[in-house]
Amino acid sequence: MPTSPVLSFADSGTPSTPLHIVTQEDLEHWLGSQPETVAGWLGRLGFSGAIGQGFLAPTSDGAIAVVGYGTRQQRARGRFHLAAGAARVPDGCYHIVSSLPQDELAAEALGWLLLGYSYHRFKPGKPRALGLKAPAGLDPDPVLAMARGEVLTRDLINTPANHMGPAELEAAMRAVAQDFGATVAATTGDALLAADLPLIHAVGRASDRAPRLIDLRWGGTGPRLTLVGKGVCFDTGGLNLKPASSMGLMKKDMGGAATVLGLAQMIMSLDMPVRLRVLVPAVENSVAGNAFRPQDVLASRKGLTVEVNNTDAEGRLVLADALALAVEEDPDILISMATLTGAARVAVGPDIAPFFTSDEALAAALAQAAAATADPVWRLPFHAPYESLIEPAVADLDNAPKGGMAGAITAALFLRRFAEGARSYTHFDIYGWQPTAAPARPVGGVGQGARALLRALSGVLNL
Q: Report, as residue numbers or ranges, the catalytic residues.
A: 242, 316
| Secondary structure E strands in 172-308 | 183-188, 212-218, 224-229, 231-235, 275-285, 297-298, 306-307
Amino acid type, 401: P
- Spatial CA neighbour of 165 closest among 317, 311, 283: 283
Distance CA 253, CA 88 (A): 34
Cα 27 to the center of its chain, rounded Å? 35
* DSSP secondary structure of 216-255: EEE-SSS-EEEEEE-EEEEE--TTSPPPHHHHTTGGGGGH
Provide the 3-class DSSP secondary structure of residue 401: coil
State the DSSP H helix or E strand holding residue 56, giving kind and residue range, or none if neither.
strand 54-59
Distance CA 131, CA 10 (A): 6
- Evaluated on CA atoms 240, 206, 161, 353, the torsion sign reads positive
Distance CA 324, CA 119 (A): 35
Burial class of residue 429, CB neighbours in 10 A (0-12, 13-18, 19+): buried
Distance CA 266, CA 150 (A): 9
Distance CA 147, CA 266 (A): 9
Return all residues near 182 (Cβ < 8 A) that are at least 6 apart: 176, 216, 217, 218, 268, 276
Q: Rg of the chain over CA atoms, in angstroms?
A: 24
